[in-house]
Chain A
Amino acid sequence: MAEMVRKSSSDEIINHWIMALSCILLIISGYGFLFQIEGIGSLFGGFNAMKTVHNWLGVVFVLSLLYSMGHYFKDALEYDDDDRQWFKVAGGYLSHKVKVPPMGKYNPGQKLYYLAILAAGIAIALSGFAIWLIQDNAGLILLAHLVHNLAFCIFIIAVPVHIYLGTLANPGTFQIMVNGMVPLELARKRYPKWMKAAGKM
């Protein structure tokens, strides 16, 4: 059996799944509210139940999002020349012929995705709590309603892209969110700078 390296800790994987599942359920129920979709309401046991589920899943989501900062935040803030070059070749996603610069543990697309989700996630959570809890302040509630829906637009664009890139577009990547392991050979090709730093190259 090929030698494996660990890319994600079990702690990170479990937290990511809590975040992912709550996020997807929040998006589904969000569409239910946005367009008054009876079928989605029934799925959650009616709109009253769906409201309770949506509110508390929001709590779960934002807690796991904040917890994930310990896993990704530091990496997401560091960019180098290779990262800049990565953008010039669109990460190699638009053509297999371009030369993609060597990457560290995460590519800049992933890092910016994380920052976008972090910002949109905090915005959607704060505005959600405002809609949930604030009474008698029309200006603030309408602002929260707008922010909640603007952040929602970021989620419904970014999350499907993230799912596609983490599954079909990059074979072998999904496994990292299952057992956290990457074959050493693959890791050397995809994350050479990280492997170098870890002394495995």
Chain B
Amino acid sequence: MANDNTKNRKAILVTPEVCIGCRACQVACKSWNQLPGIKTKNNGTYQNPPDLASAAFNIIRYSEVPSDKNPVRWLFVSRRCMHCDDAGCMKICPAPGALYRTKEGAVAFDRDKCIGCKLCVNACPFDVPRYDVEGKVTKCHLCFDRIDAGMQPACVKTCPTGALRFGDRAELISTAKKDGFNTIYGEQDLGGLGSIYAFKDAPKLYGMKDDPAIPSSVIFWHTVLKPFAVAGLGGVVAAAAIHYLTVGPHKDEEE
């Protein structure tokens, strides 16, 4: 299900290899989106907060993955909404406009239209959407407001190493390939992601999901049950009408 904006689709390219784990992206995101602080705790890792939260639209995941060559290999990967082209959250959402596609191809949200059913949380292949204290959806929206004003997303703007880059999705992919990154995570997954990752190693090393997919029950519901709900009702009403016109109503036998 390619959206209409594939041609000018924008994306964030994450290059974990050059990420220094400074977390400036987390701070910039909080600052721009005016997100409150979170009471957190020490989990024995630099990763803080430990997971995405209603007040943390992006985090850096810190993984210690020692190898033979490098016994202290420490991998940083910036994580946020993947802005799937075929988005499970948008598919399952019952409230029109609560989750919507921006003209850059990102998935943004409208708090006022969200009804707080939380289905999007469970249909997301990447466990991204979170609910705030008022029970409304929150997540990264690719700073569509900044993009509209001709600026880069806050996290990209602040990144000191180029680990986060924003731009035309197709260009970012071809540049990354030219630079020798043979795995572009998210190039094809779910119709193509809006957050793409340039890897030289296996993405799994960085904690990336191997085959991200919308839950099969949601696919079944979308492709079978939804059409059936229309055809079934229409069919039954039509059958009743045909029955009434052909066989006709019940007649009690005359004695």
Contact = CB atoms under 8 A, between A and B. Distances in A.
Main DSSP-derived SS at the A contact region: helix
B158 to A, nearest CB: 32
Interface in A12-61: 31-38, 41, 47-48, 50-51
A191 to B, nearest CB: 11
Interface in A162-197: 164, 168-171, 186, 189-190
Interface in B211-243: 215, 217-218, 220-221, 225-226, 228-229, 232-233, 236-237, 240, 243
The size class of the interface chain B forms with chain A is 35 or more
Nearest to B253: A189
B209 to A, nearest CB: 14
A95 B233 CA distance: 24
Contact of B244 (A135, A161, A168): A168
Contacts of B20: none
A138 B255 CA distance: 63
Interface in A78-105: 92-96
Given A131-B119, A141-B119, A146 B244 contact: no
A149 B91 CA distance: 14
Nearest to A92: B250
A92 to B, nearest CB: 7
B113 interface: yes
Contacts of B226: 34-35
Contacts of A156: 229, 232-233, 236
A171 B94 contact: no
Contact of A47 (B95, B217, B221): B95
A24 B251 CA distance: 29
Contact of B237 (A33, A47, A50, A160): A160
B15 to A, nearest CB: 30
Interface in B87-134: 92-96, 98, 113, 115-119, 121-123
Given A138-B121, A142-B218, A160-B233, A169 B250 contact: yes
B37 interface: no
A189 B252 contact: yes
Nearest to A169: B249
